């Protein structure tokens, strides 16, 4: 048996080939319009901010726009220094515990984690999965969702992917005679997806523990039956042997980030599903020209092998991991299985028997997450999402149905009401700081059967291939959109652009202005005409940069935001506006998934109190690209809160409504090297985390885990 290198799908593989006008024509347009920065920064704003970052600021003809008052809150901790310590290093006055880690049994009757990969595959249907990622805490009172309850609730956690996978198997992933052993593949299928667990505070403490054996504890994984909802449900392009009517899907994959609804359900989003789907060589011969266009645009040319090679295992049940034509009709093979991934999945954590639904109206792509704007009675539900691949798009969904607060706790039926009918848009970030939402509706704006890029058949085809619809409309190609969030103070929307090594110097634009973009940035926008409006104004809140370059061999981007030692960061990914009750003052958590500045520090989480769109002004990069940047951060309003263990990503964050318990995830500690013979890993976290007393203590294998943060004095977190 030879170890098989199994790694996360590399989104280097996809490069948007469309010739949208975002690059060259926008550049030309900008050069010919060096005039005022329209509508971004008013004199009132400039006066209020004391000129911070306004030296290159343009004028404005929107003088009637008054900035919101500055938040009255202050960060309550001293910044943590960058470090390579193999532990969670957190600000003084705070403490951590481990809620759950890969392989922990959620129910009684399964053995504890053995630290040797000997757990059965079957038991992973009841164990915590791998690759902890997006998550959300739903307060629970009398068995129902209660947004003001902190002491007990349901915690939903995504299990994005199987890491290495050093934790699951005795000696890592293996291949025998070119085939993956079925027992390993089964274990990996069950270790993906999401978990729902009941959590409650420990007696006399704000620290939390999992309630083992709770009736709410549940795994949804890559073999869980689910329904399709929205325009694509029942479409011919979703027909498979397992779903002859195109209305079902089997399993969800590579669930990265998440969302939540005001009615109390969890949204979990399929991102790098190309990890697990292959397509046989020669398969194009049986495909139509338009099918081939669609398959290629979504990264699955014929002959592409999936990194996890689940389709090589013996057994009919593994054939569905190859999207090839192998029988006379779609109802007799898995040619369309690829189309069943890349969606937002809704799960009702309060009804453990309810069937999850893939909400197709929100589009299909490398779905990082789905972030709702605060719901307002009588107005549509608005959800933002990003397509995490290089040069892909930002999307927005606006429901047809208007929010009725009586729908709280209505479960999946309410999900269908708001999420199955609505309008999908893609974002165009203009060079002058304005932006527009481009509608992706069949029969409008050339999105029809005569489209030159791809002949759309109907709205099902549009949502299933919304990348092509967005190409056709001329959406702006971004530097890998990751998490988003909506500021509860002013409803401005933030989204991380984690990095983009393929952003060529001659292909920059104002919204993605740094060539190479090694360290990423955070863009934000303010909607015009309400949250469902179709125009917005944007600026870049923060540009990541590694400023401590002594001994660093990897290139670091230009430090446009003026970061210092207390807040320099690279590759922002997780992003979360604290929703705690009583208004947290727009407290923003920023997390990193980095490979560029790791010679200086492990990945981290920062806390920030941002201003607002337009509080800075126009700047020009050293490459002569103009952009619009927010007021530069200060050490008072952006600070490093914690640093994670070695070779990890920090991702997933949520805070209880009272602000006294924070959860975050450590994903893939020590992912870069494992020697099973000697039990040598680059990380031994969480078993080596100082101060922990749980059963995780002392274990050698690195494991993804959920961490609980509390203040030692029982106070509120961050502010």
Q: What residues line the site for ligand FEO (CB under 6 A)? A: 160, 256, 271, 368, 388, 482, 573
Phi-psi region of 519 (alpha: psi -120 to 50; beta: other; left: phi over 0): alpha
Min dist CB 506 to Ca ion, Å, is: 26
Nearer to Ca ion, 302 or 482 (CB): 482
Nearer to ligand FEO, 284 or 388 (CB): 388
Nearer to ligand FEO, 53 or 131 (CB): 131
For 694, which DSSP code?
A: S
Min dist CB 651 to Ca ion, Å, is: 6
Which of ligand FEO, Ca ion, none does residue 578 bind (CB under 5 to 8 Å by kind)?
none
Nearer to ligand FEO, 482 or 568 (CB): 482
* DSSP 3-state of 437: strand
Min dist CB 416 to Ca ion, Å, is: 28
* Helices 289-297/466-473 angle, 10° precision: 90
- Report 189-218 residues binding Ca ion (CB under 5 A): none
Chain-centroid distance of CA 675 in Å reads 30
**Contacts for 285-291 with beta carbons within 8 Å, 24 or more apart?**
286/325, 286/335, 287/325, 290/454, 290/455
Min dist CB 368 to Ca ion, Å, is: 6
Question: Is 238 within 8 Å of 334 (Cβ atoms)?
Answer: no
Question: Is 316 within 8 Å of 332 (Cβ atoms)?
Answer: no
Min dist CB 368 to ligand FEO, Å, is: 5
Relative to beta strand 535-543, strand 572-577 is unpaired
Nearer to Ca ion, 573 or 615 (CB): 573
Q: Which of 487, 455, 269, 286 is nearest to 374 (CA)?
A: 487
Question: Is 505 within 8 Å of 425 (Cβ atoms)?
Answer: no
Calpha distance 327→319 (Å, rounded): 12
Part in contact with Ca ion (CB under 5 A); list of ranges 230-238, 397-405, 481-489, 601-609: 481-489
Relative to beta strand 521-528, strand 535-543 is antiparallel
Which of Ca ion, ligand FEO, none does residue 160 bind (CB under 5 to 8 Å by kind)?
ligand FEO
Q: Does 283 bind Ca ion (CB under 5 A)?
A: no
- Report 482-521 residues binding Ca ion (CB under 5 A): 482, 498
Min dist CB 480 to ligand FEO, Å, is: 7
Phi, psi of 228 (to 5 degrees): -95, 140
Min dist CB 515 to Ca ion, Å, is: 20
Nearer to ligand FEO, 239 or 604 (CB): 604
Nearer to Ca ion, 195 or 499 (CB): 499
Calpha distance 564→25 (Å, rounded): 36
Min dist CB 608 to Ca ion, Å, is: 18
Distance (Å) of CA 380 to CA 146, 358, 534? 22, 20, 13
Nearer to ligand FEO, 86 or 573 (CB): 573
Which of Ca ion, ligand FEO, none does residue 271 bind (CB under 5 to 8 Å by kind)?
ligand FEO
* DSSP 3-state of 534: coil
Part in contact with Ca ion (CB under 5 A); list of ranges 341-349, 351-359, 478-486, 688-696: 478-486
Min dist CB 482 to ligand FEO, Å, is: 5
Which of ligand FEO, Ca ion, none does residue 416 bind (CB under 5 to 8 Å by kind)?
none
Distance (Å) of CA 177 to CA 71, 181, 218, 458, 515? 62, 10, 35, 44, 44
Which of Ca ion, ligand FEO, none does residue 527 bind (CB under 5 to 8 Å by kind)?
none
Which of ligand FEO, Ca ion, none does residue 407 bind (CB under 5 to 8 Å by kind)?
none
Nearer to ligand FEO, 188 or 368 (CB): 368
Nearer to Ca ion, 336 or 570 (CB): 570
Min dist CB 288 to ligand FEO, Å, is: 31
Which of ligand FEO, Ca ion, none does residue 101 bind (CB under 5 to 8 Å by kind)?
none
Question: Is 283 within 8 Å of 302 (Cβ atoms)?
Answer: yes
The encoded tokens of residue 690 equal 């100082």
Min dist CB 203 to ligand FEO, Å, is: 36
**Contacts for 118-123 with beta carbons within 8 Å, 24 or more apart?**
118/170, 119/168, 119/187, 121/183, 121/184, 121/186, 121/187, 121/190, 122/186, 122/190
Residue with CB nearest ligand FEO?
256
Nearer to Ca ion, 573 or 647 (CB): 573
Q: Does 346 bind Ca ion (CB under 5 A)?
A: no
Member of 188, 573, 594, 671 binding Ca ion (CB under 5 A): 573
| Angle at alpha carbon of residue 366, lines to 504 and 121, rounded to 5° | 130
Q: Does 593 bind Ca ion (CB under 5 A)?
A: yes
Calpha distance 223→547 (Å, rounded): 45
Binding residues for Ca ion (CB under 5 A)? 482, 498, 573, 593
């Amino acid at each position: 048996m030879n170890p098989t290198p199994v790694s996360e799908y590399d989104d280097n593989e996809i490069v948007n080939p469309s010739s949208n006008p975002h690059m060259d024509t926008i550049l030309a347009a900008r050069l010919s319009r060096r005039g005022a920065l329209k509508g971004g920064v008013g004199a009132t704003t400039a006066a209020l901010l004391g000129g911070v970052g306004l030296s290159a600021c343009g004028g404005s003809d929107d003088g009637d726009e008054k900035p919101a008052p500055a938040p009255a809150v202050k960060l309550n901790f001293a910044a943590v220094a960058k470090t390579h310590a193999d532990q969670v290093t957190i600000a003084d006055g705070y403490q951590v515990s481990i809620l759950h880690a890969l392989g922990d049994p959620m129910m009684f009757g399964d053995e504890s984690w053995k630290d040797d990969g000997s757990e059965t595959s079957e038991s992973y249907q009841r164990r915590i999965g791998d690759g902890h990622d997006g998550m959300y805490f739903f307060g629970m009172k009398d068995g129902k969702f209660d947004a003001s309850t902190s002491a007990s609730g349901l915690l939903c956690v995504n299990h994005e992917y199987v890491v290495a996978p050093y934790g699951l198997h005795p000696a890592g992933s293996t291949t025998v005679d070119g085939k993956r052993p079925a027992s390993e593949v089964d274990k990996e299928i069950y270790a993906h997806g999401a978990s729902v667990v009941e959590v409650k505070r420990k007696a006399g403490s704000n620290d939390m523990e999992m309630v083992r054996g709770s009736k709410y504890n549940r795994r949804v994984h890559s073999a869980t039956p689910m329904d399709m909802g929205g325009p694509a449900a029942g479409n011919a392009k979703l027909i498979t042997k397992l779903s002859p009517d195109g209305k079902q899907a089997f399993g969800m994959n590579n669930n990265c980030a998440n969302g939540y609804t005001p009615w109390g359900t969890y949204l979990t989003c399929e991102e790098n599903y190309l990890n697990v789907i292959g397509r046989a060589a020669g398969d194009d011969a049986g495909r139509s020209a338009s099918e081939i266009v669609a398959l290629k645009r979504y990264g699955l040319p014929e002959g592409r092998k999936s990194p996890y090679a689940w389709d090589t295992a013996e057994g009919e049940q593994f054939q569905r991991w190859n999207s090839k034509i192998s029988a006379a009709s779609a109802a007799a093979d898995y040619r369309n299985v690829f189309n069943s991934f890349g969606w937002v999945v809704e799960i009702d954590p309060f009804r453990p028997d309810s069937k999850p639904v893939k909400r197709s109206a929100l589009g299909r792509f490398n779905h990082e997450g789905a972030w709702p704007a605060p719901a307002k009675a009588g107005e549509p539900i608005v959800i933002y999402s990003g397509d995490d691949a290089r040069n892909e798009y930002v999307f927005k969904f606006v429901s047809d149905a208007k929010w009725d607060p009586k729908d709280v706790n209505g479960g999946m039926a309410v999900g269908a009401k708001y999420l199955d009918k609505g309008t999908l848009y893609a974002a165009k970030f203009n060079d002058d700081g304005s932006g527009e939402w481009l509608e992706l509706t069949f029969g409008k704006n050339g999105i029809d059967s005569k489209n030159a890029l791809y002949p759309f058949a109907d709205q099902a085809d549009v949502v299933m291939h919304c990348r092509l619809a967005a190409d056709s409309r001329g959406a702006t190609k971004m530097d890998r959109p990751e998490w988003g969030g909506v500021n509860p103070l002013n409803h401005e929307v933030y989204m991380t652009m984690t990095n983009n090594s393929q952003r060529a110097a001659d292909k920059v634009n104002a919204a993605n202005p740094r060539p190479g973009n090694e360290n990423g940035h955070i863009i934000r926008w303010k909607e015009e005409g309400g949250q469902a409006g179709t125009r917005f104004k944007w600026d870049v809140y923060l540009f990541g940069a590694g400023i401590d370059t002594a001994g660093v061999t990897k290139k670091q981007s230009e430090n446009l935001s003026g970061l210092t030692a207390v807040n320099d960061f690279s590759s922002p990914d997780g992003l979360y506006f604290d929703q705690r009750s009583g208004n947290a003052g727009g407290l923003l958590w920023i997390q990193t998934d980095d490979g560029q500045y790791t010679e200086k520090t492990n990945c981290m989480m920062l806390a920030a109190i941002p201003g607002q769109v337009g509080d800075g002004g126009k700047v020009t990069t050293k490459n002569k690209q103009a952009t619009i940047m927010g007021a530069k951060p200060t050490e008072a309003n952006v600070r490093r809160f914690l640093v994670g263990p070695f070779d990890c990503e920090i991702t997933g964050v949520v805070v209880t409504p009272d602000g006294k318990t924070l959860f975050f995830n450590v994903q893939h500690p020590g992912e870069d090297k494992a020697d099973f013979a000697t039990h040598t890993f680059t990380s031994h976290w969480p078993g080596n985390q100082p101060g922990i007393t749980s059963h995780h203590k002392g274990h050698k294998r690195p494991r993804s885990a959920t961490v609980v943060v509390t203040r030692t004095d029982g106070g509120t977190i961050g502010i």
